[in-house]
Amino acid sequence: MTSPLRLERALRLMPAVEALEPLRMLLMAASETDDARKWSSAGMYLTVGKRSVNVDTLRGQLDQLMPRITDHVTRLYEAYITALAAQHAGDGAAAAHALARAADEEAGVRRLPQARAWLEVAFRVATELNDRGPEIEILNRLGETDLALGRPMDASRFFQRMLVLAEAGFDHDNVIRACHGLGRAALARRQYEGARAWCLRALRHAAGGSHALHTVQLERTMALTSWRQGFKDEALERLAVAITTAESLDAPAEMALLLKTRGEVQASTGAAEEALASLRESGAWLRRAPDDPALRTDLHLALADAFELARNPVEAERELRSAEQVAIEGRLTDRLVDVYLALGRLSGTRRDETGFVFFEQAIELAHIMGWNLALEGHVFEEYGRFRHQLGSRDEAQAHFERAARSFEASGDSAAAERLRTETASATA
């Protein structure tokens, strides 16, 4: 058995080659930490880079990884050949469907930029068809993918076109989905009145039909909008209605999501005990839903905030470490960034300078992901706040400028402008 080595060293040995991406993810997922290190003085600063990787373990796990990669690539190739054959036979709908299936394959392993690339090709094929159905479906997926990629402007464009087509075809279901997509894209761009208007429009369409699940999801987006606007009571009322409906639908995943949101809103009002109760119940529902590591990570993060609010730093840190573990095992790099930002913020409130290691780790992870400029902007903004809190003004200023550039590049000029205004007033 060879002795373990640090993940940060292992990653430094790996070139930035796309074909090695699954191996990079495996390295992170296979890394571990031991009890002695957990209790060392560096234990509270542990990040994924400081975890250990055992070469023998890695070699063993490679045997399981390779068939999965081969299967994945095989399915992509097969999807392409199916699409090619369908187009050759003049069946454009089948070609678009096969290409969309390849996108699903990529999205299933969280390769969202690659999924988007397949969807773009599928979209071109779908626009040439007489039937608008496949085009509407692909527009919806493009919109959802862009939302997940942190590109709400692009998502809006896809949902807008989807809406036009669905309305023309009196396709109620897709009108609701398009309006909801537009609402969420507006919410992501902090255009709250727009988000509210789109969701209300969707709710009007949903009323009277058998769209109970849509209604629940719309009410949640409405609640989030109200919350962001500062109308916390309204948010809680909407969530209460949605929770009652979701419970009658036996929809555990929706229940988990709604209760998590309720817990977050309650925490923002300072009601720590109520927040903890909602979040714990959310966890109980989550166990009944199909496994969703992203939601599990988010729930641990929300619990950490609530425990912090309840002046229970020990449990707060425990929840953050649970979130870290779920994100590592689930290969959720974006969520892992969130975890380290939260740990960094915690260090900032304790005025612990060594907490900079969490931001450095978040930056490294954001670079590994590469595609999410909004996330990158968020990381540098948080790092700037941390440095500002600890009195390093020059460094803070440099990080804020970098964040503004990333927001600008992601198309969120409002965020870039907000940050520049804030920085200017802070340094004035």
Partner 1 sequence: MTSVAHETVPRGEPGGAPVRVLIVGADNAVVTRIRAWVDESLFHLETAADLPRAMRAMIAAPAQVVLAHLGDGPDDLTAWVDALRGMPGSPRLVALTSRPTIGLVLQGERAGVLDVLALPLQREALDAALRRVSESGGDVVPLPAVQPHMVGDYALVGESPAMLEVYKVIARVASSTATVLVEGDSGTGKEVIARALHRHGPRAAQPFVAVNCAAIPENLLESELFGHEKGAFTGAVARKIGRFEQATRGTLFLDEIGDMSLPLQAKILRAVQEREVERIGGDVVPVDVRLIAATNHDLAASIKAGRFREDLYYRLAVVTMRLPRLVDRGEDLLSLSAFFINEFSRTHGRTISAISRSALDALHSHAWVGNVRELRNALERAVLIADGSALRLSDLPDSVRGARRVAALPAPSDAPLTLAELEARHIAMVLASTGGRVATAARILGVHRNTLTRKMREYGL
CB 39 to partner 1: min, Å: 3
Residue whose C-alpha is closest to residue 403's, from 369, 367, 375: 375
Is 285 among the residues that bind partner 1 (CB under 8 A)? yes
Is 427 among the residues that bind partner 1 (CB under 8 A)? no
Tell me whether residue 40 or residue 70 sits nearer to partner 1 (CB atom). Answer: 40
Is 37 among the residues that bind partner 1 (CB under 8 A)? yes
Tell me whether residue 50 or residue 72 sits nearer to partner 1 (CB atom). Answer: 50
CB 131 to partner 1: min, Å: 42
The count of C-alpha atoms lying within 13 angstroms of the C-alpha of 342, restricted to the half-sphere facing its C-beta, is: 27
Kindly tell me which residue out of 392, 405, 411, 420 binds partner 1, with binding defined by CB under 8 A. Answer: 392
Residue whose C-alpha is closest to residue 336's, from 327, 348, 345: 327
CB 354 within 8 A of CB 338: no
Query: Which single residue is written with the structure tokens 């290409």?
Result: 99
Tell me whether residue 22 or residue 330 sits nearer to partner 1 (CB atom). Answer: 330
Is 173 among the residues that bind partner 1 (CB under 8 A)? no
Kindly tell me which residue out of 21, 43, 245, 405 binds partner 1, with binding defined by CB under 8 A. Answer: 43
Is 50 among the residues that bind partner 1 (CB under 8 A)? yes
**Total binding residues toward partner 1, as defined by CB under 8 A:** 43
Q: What is the amino acid identity at position 335? A: R
Kindly tell me which residue out of 70, 244, 248, 354 binds partner 1, with binding defined by CB under 8 A. Answer: 354
Task: Identify which range of 93-101, 178-186, 211-219, 358-366 contacts partner 1 by CB under 8 A.
Answer: 358-366
Task: Identify which range of 30-38, 142-150, 156-164, 228-236 contacts partner 1 by CB under 8 A.
Answer: 30-38
CB 319 to partner 1: min, Å: 11
Query: Which single residue is written with the structure tokens 């994945």?
Result: 72
Is 72 among the residues that bind partner 1 (CB under 8 A)? no
Kindly tell me which residue out of 161, 265, 399, 410 binds partner 1, with binding defined by CB under 8 A. Answer: 399
CB 125 within 8 A of CB 106: no
Q: In the stretch 238-257, what mask flags binding to partner 1 with x, by CB under 8 A?
A: -----------------x--
CB 409 within 8 A of CB 373: yes
The encoded tokens of residue 390 equal 């600890």
Kindly tell me which residue out of 277, 294, 390, 409 binds partner 1, with binding defined by CB under 8 A. Answer: 277
Tell me whether residue 156 or residue 282 sits nearer to partner 1 (CB atom). Answer: 282
Is 350 among the residues that bind partner 1 (CB under 8 A)? no
CB contact set of 366 (below 8 Å; sequence gap of 6+): 337, 372, 375, 376, 379
CB 422 to partner 1: min, Å: 18
Q: What is the amino acid identity at position 1? A: M
Residue whose C-alpha is closest to residue 220's, from 271, 184, 173: 184
CA 244/CA 342 separation, integer angstroms: 32
Is 17 among the residues that bind partner 1 (CB under 8 A)? no
Kindly tell me which residue out of 16, 249, 284, 426 binds partner 1, with binding defined by CB under 8 A. Answer: 284
Q: At what angle do helices 112-127 and 133-148 cross, to 10 degrees?
A: 160
Rounded-to-5 percentages of helix, strand, coil across the chain? 80, 0, 20
Tell me whether residue 49 or residue 330 sits nearer to partner 1 (CB atom). Answer: 49
Three-state SS at 217: helix
Is 69 among the residues that bind partner 1 (CB under 8 A)? no
Q: In the stretch 288-327, what mask flags binding to partner 1 with x, by CB under 8 A?
A: x----------------------xx-xx------------
Catalog residues that contact partner 1 under the rule CB under 8 A: 6, 8-9, 12, 34-43, 45-46, 49-50, 255, 276-277, 280-281, 283-285, 287-288, 311-312, 314-315, 354, 357, 360-361, 364, 392, 394-395, 398-399, 402
